[in-house]
Amino acid sequence: MCGIVGAIADRNIVPILIEGLRRLEYRGYDSAGVAVLNSSGHLRRLRTVGKVKMLQDAIVETPTDGQLGIAHTRWATHGVPSERNAHPHISRDGIAIVHNGIIENHEELREELTSLGYTFTSETDTEVIAHRIHHHKQKLGDIFRAVRATVAELEGAYALAVVSEDSPDRIILARAGCPVVIGVGNNENFVASDVSALLPVTRKFIFLDEGDVAEIRRQDVRVLDAEGNTAHREVRESALSADAAEKGDYPHFMLKEIFEQPRAVAQTLEERVAGGKLLEAAFGPLATEIFRRTEAVQIVACGTSYHAGAVAKYYIEQIARLPCWVEIASEYRYRNPVVPKNTLFVTISQSGETADTLAALRMAKQSGYLSSLSICNVPESSLVRESELVLLTRAGPEIGVASTKAFTTQLTALGMLVVALAKHHGADAERERGLVQRLIEIPGLIEKTLHLEPTIKELAKRFADKHHALFLGRGQMHPIAMEGALKLKEISYIHAEAYAAGELKHGPLALVDADMPVITVAPNNDLLEKLKSNLQEVRARGGELYVFADPDSGMQSSDGVTIITMPKHVSHFQAAAVYSIPLQLLSYHCAILRGTDVDQPRNLAKSVTVE
């Protein structure tokens, strides 16, 4: 998704803007641009298609510096990726803006502006905002007031940063539906879509609320809320370190993040489980009372986070014996769901800014749910701020677009939710101790599974030239098969589908031949024998089988069947997290062999802040 960076300082801010954009690259983008007020007070704009590196090269060719500026990475929504559609967009009299989000009424605003004599140089909704600001500024005389008048007319979602040649001492910001933070410096201030962009220059941040319009100067930040009243927004210190978003010795963020999983899962459990108990206050002060009253659970999420929810459904039903429904947010939000009494509404999200998940939460808050719980990786995110209960996954920044450590830490957090619910619905202290112990063992089991990397790297050579793949699992391993298929398609562009293995003979078996690898996750559980029969059906049609299996499964490699032996003693409550690891590694190595852009796969964005 698009990224914003801005700065006002007594030094040249161009390197800060470029470094900020580089740190936002993980969000996904197709073009980049910068607009800076130079020493003679004129706006200088440079835009390029492709990577931030291209913009950096353009700046070397056309030296650009200044003490006030804004920059952007664009992920195309209105209009193709091109230089003329890239941000910043400018209007008359040296007004420049960068924008994240989508303006739904841009067409009618554009028509009106055309009749007022404005000409457009792009197909974007953003250019409309630039001209609207100019239009209002002519009447109101001041850029801050002009931005406020403009945002009052906008329908949709936006985070905006605006500069103007005649106000060389400030940047104007506005937020509705898209995140934006102010970085507080010493006699200098900054702005960005998320904190990671600004960590090299500050650790202090102000998070704007929905509807806020703000004005930042070198020494001062002024915020007005949606009603136009002066608002005090706290300055918060971020615990993230500047190098949290660096690759270190790894060739890709994705590989680094796969290998960070033992630590990330352990951190997610830290201080929350102790002495064989789950400390449910970790979910928030009201947690105990809410979990006691919970009679059902509705989970809503997107993509990989949805898969974590789909696993949790099995655990919540089997272990806590509560009914649980799971749905993708983009569908849920357009239904008119019937909400059973005392249902807890749970959202799961790495970013906490996914537009559909956020909209579903807002709708749920009006729909009579008992309470809302967010399982999220970003403490300052909208989802966290708007949920009553929160359990943060402590995965650290996840930069690779393909979610890995965020997923296994979500599974861990959901495991804690299961224990909390089970405690209030029949599980005694011994049962609790047993479940907590299973959670504590997960990091060690993941560590052991990571030792399979060389084997999986070899295996990937047999997949790299395939066009399709099938992933199979049963029970709680069905969502893990779905996650494996999603990982493979999103980074290697191999078409992959996942099925509950018992469903194969109802259609997809027709696809199976020697050219269709069939990847299966087979922990030692009560569905193993059923799964083996399903695999016989594949083998009988000449399908090539790759099975990640428990050492006690009794399965052995044979003609057309490759067994990859997983660690011993992986229990039902641990299997989802542990068996997702080899599937992540397989996708990664297939993608490497196919030469794709592993960390930033085509067409995808890390934080999906549009509907």
What are the residues binding ligand F6R (CB under 6 A)? 302-305, 349-351, 354, 357, 402-403, 486, 490, 608
* Least distance (Å) between residue 221 CB and ligand F6R: 28
Q: Name the residue among 298, 308, 306 with its Cα closest to residue 330.
A: 306
Q: Indicate the residue type of 224.
A: L
* Least distance (Å) between residue 577 CB and ligand F6R: 16
Secondary structure in 3-state letters for 334-385 = CCCCCCCCCEEEEEEECCCCCHHHHHHHHHHCCCCCCEEEEEECCCCCHHHH
- Point out the catalytic residue in the list 2, 178, 376, 590: 2
Give strand pairing partners of 588: none
* Least distance (Å) between residue 304 CB and ligand F6R: 3
């403009």: which residue's tokens? Answer: 150
**In angstroms, rounded to a whole number, what is the distance separating the alpha carbons of residues 284 and 421?**
14
Contact 25, 605 (CB under 8 A): no
Indicate the residue among 35 and 406 with the shorter CB distance to ligand F6R: 406
Region of 82 on the Ramachandran plot (φ > 0 left; ψ -120 to 50 alpha; else beta):
beta
* Least distance (Å) between residue 486 CB and ligand F6R: 6
The tokens for 467 are: 């066009």
Question: Residue 328 to residues 294, 331, 354: CA-CA distances in angstroms?
Answer: 21, 6, 12
* Least distance (Å) between residue 259 CB and ligand F6R: 17
CA atoms within 13 A on the CB side of 321: 5
376 belongs to the catalytic site: no
405 belongs to the catalytic site: no
Question: Residue 58 to residues 63, 75, 364: CA-CA distances in angstroms?
Answer: 8, 20, 47
Residue 424, H or E segment:
helix 405-424
Indicate the residue among 294 and 350 with the shorter CB distance to ligand F6R: 350
**In angstroms, rounded to a whole number, what is the distance separating the alpha carbons of residues 516 and 519?**
10
Nearest residue to ligand F6R, scored by beta-carbon proximity: 303
What's the distance, Cα to Cα, between the start and end of the chain in Å? Answer: 11
Contact 234, 568 (CB under 8 A): no
Indicate the residue among 302 and 312 with the shorter CB distance to ligand F6R: 302
Indicate the residue among 100 and 305 with the shorter CB distance to ligand F6R: 305
**In angstroms, rounded to a whole number, what is the distance separating the alpha carbons of residues 472 and 534?**
9
DSSP string, 46-79: EEEES-HHHHHHHHHHS----SEEEEEEE--SSS
DSSP string, 454-486: HHHHHHHTTTTT-SEEEEEE-TTHHHHHHHHHH
**In angstroms, rounded to a whole number, what is the distance separating the alpha carbons of residues 502 and 499?**
8
Indicate the residue among 389 and 402 with the shorter CB distance to ligand F6R: 402
Indicate the residue among 294 and 351 with the shorter CB distance to ligand F6R: 351
Question: Residue 19 to residues 13, 23, 35, 516: CA-CA distances in angstroms?
Answer: 10, 6, 15, 44
* Least distance (Å) between residue 378 CB and ligand F6R: 8
SS3 category, 291? helix
* Least distance (Å) between residue 603 CB and ligand F6R: 12
Indicate the residue among 161 and 359 with the shorter CB distance to ligand F6R: 359
* Least distance (Å) between residue 488 CB and ligand F6R: 11
Indicate the residue among 212 and 490 with the shorter CB distance to ligand F6R: 490
Those residues with Cβ within 8 angstroms of residue 272's Cβ, 6 or more apart along the chain or in another chain? 278, 279, 282, 391, 416
Give strand pairing partners of 301: 328
- Point out the catalytic residue in the list 51, 313, 423, 606: 606
* Least distance (Å) between residue 1 CB and ligand F6R: 10
Indicate the residue among 190 and 471 with the shorter CB distance to ligand F6R: 471
Indicate the residue among 70 and 391 with the shorter CB distance to ligand F6R: 391
* Least distance (Å) between residue 194 CB and ligand F6R: 12
Q: Name the residue among 491, 490, 542, 487 with its Cα closest to residue 512.
A: 542
Those residues with Cβ within 8 angstroms of residue 343's Cβ, 6 or more apart along the chain or in another chain? 294, 295, 296, 297, 298, 369, 370
Residues recognised as catalytic: 2, 606
